[in-house]
Amino acid sequence: MLHEATDKSGTGYIPRVLLVDDEANVLKALARTLRQESVAILTAPSGEDALAVMREQPVDLLISDMRMPGMSGAELLAEAAQTWPHTRRVLLTGYADLESTIKAVNEGQISSYLNKPWNDLELRRVVSDLLQARFLELENAALTAELATKNAELENLNSALEAKVRKRTEELRYSYEHMVTLASSLSAQRDQNGGRSTLLDALMAQEMASLLGMTEEETDALRKAVMLSGLGRLGFTDAMLSKPYCDYDAQELQQFRQWPVLAEAALFGVPALAVASDYIRHQFERFDGSGFPDGLAGERIPLGSRILAVVRDYSDWISGRFNGVECNPLQARHEIEAMTGKRYDPQVVEAFIRVARHYQHSHLNQNEACISSQALKPGMVLARDLFSARGMVLLKKHHRVDHDIIHKMQHLEQLMDEPLEIHVYRDPPPAATDSEG
């Protein structure tokens, strides 16, 4: 069903928003909430019907419920991400759907998610932010096509476009309503996987906050702090972003230490982010008091900052930002554990270990899958080195497993009471090493 809308912006562009839910009353409530926006609203009662709508006409924003008969919201968003990658995707989910939400983040590459029941103002804000980003994307594509046909005017048009982007960036900088979108957009431009990693970090931080007894307001401030904590890196040179922290010279280290202060300063004009900016300022304090910028120690460091430090460093170990060597999730967790009581709060690390296994930060290659030892079958070939719970290499990449090796893996998991992270090829390469038993 299509609810027509008029263009209130004068641009001639009316974005399409597709709402998907199996409950007619929910669809009506969502449409009613968005009626005052300059959008054309489409509705579908199922994932299958939603895909049929998207095949017939372009959709700028897809908002789907998680739990529906037949195709789930996570499955719908994953299909949409593959077929229509430019369509922004938002998940409506309940607090009990954490596992499905994580799946939607990993496979559906969602732009945002909202809890049910939703807040009308928050829903309209998310829709406005995502559609504005989509509009700028379309506008930029149109301008680029025009520039390609007007080589004589290339320099002037490029300067005008850069001035327009700078102007809009400054407007967004002082607007709380667009702050998270701005940070995510800038991060995505300089770090291909940064947006996805930040969203996973935010989900992990929220789960840790719940385990550690943070209030709903504190947890929300922590989520915003995680999303905005990287603002201080925007001033880094390309050279700094392209090399690990261990290779920074004295001048670069000095600039690095300004990261949390600059990120906090960027939020001075937004009173609603006061708590989040405090968490950001103290994200590099250390539990033993040796951190910066204020040398706080122990519980004098805000709990939100202590959580932020752990999830940030976990992602940095996986991406290789510390020493230039990318870690697998198991190795990254052990690096965090090794600094318990020094860099990190032991209670925060304990909560982190409980939740970290649920989150897949590293991308799987197209020809590999991450499976449990119970799903292993003789003849499968390892796509990555297999590590023990203490980080020791058990089997090398390209090793072909047999019954005996599978039994030993399962027995080791029982002894260590921790599952192994096993990556196998979907299509094994011919030059694989057989197990020796």
Question: What is the CATH classification number for the domain harbouring 429?
Answer: 3.90.105
Cβ atoms of residues 191 and 233 within 8 Å: no
Q: Are residues 79 and 162 in the same domain?
A: yes
Instruction: Give the residue, 106 or 356, on which the prediction is more confident.
Output: 356
Cβ atoms of residues 41 and 65 within 8 Å: no
pLDDT at residue 182 is higher than 60? no
Residue 294 is predicted with a pLDDT of: 96
Tell whether pTM > 0.85.
Answer: no
- Which whole-number Å values give the CA distances from 51 to 36, 38, 103, 394, in the listed order? 26, 23, 19, 44
Mean pLDDT over all residues of the chain? Answer: 82
Q: Are residues 104 and 33 in the same domain?
A: yes
Q: Are residues 43 and 23 in the same domain?
A: yes
Q: Among 323, 356, 389, where does a domain finish?
A: 356
Is residue 64 included in any domain, yes or no?
yes
Instruction: Give the residue, 320 or 165, on which the prediction is more confident.
Output: 320
Q: Are residues 105 and 214 in the same domain?
A: no
Is residue 363 included in any domain, yes or no?
no
Quickly tell me which residue has 């307001």 as its tokens.
217
Number of structural domains in the chain: 3
- Which whole-number Å values give the CA distances from 226 to 122, 223, 306, 351, in the listed order? 18, 5, 11, 17
* Integer-rounded Cα radius of gyration of the chain: 24
Q: Are residues 345 and 230 in the same domain?
A: yes
Range of the domain at 305: 179-356
pLDDT at residue 170 is higher than 50? yes
Residue 185 is predicted with a pLDDT of: 52
pLDDT at residue 412 is higher than 70? yes
Q: Are residues 228 and 169 in the same domain?
A: no
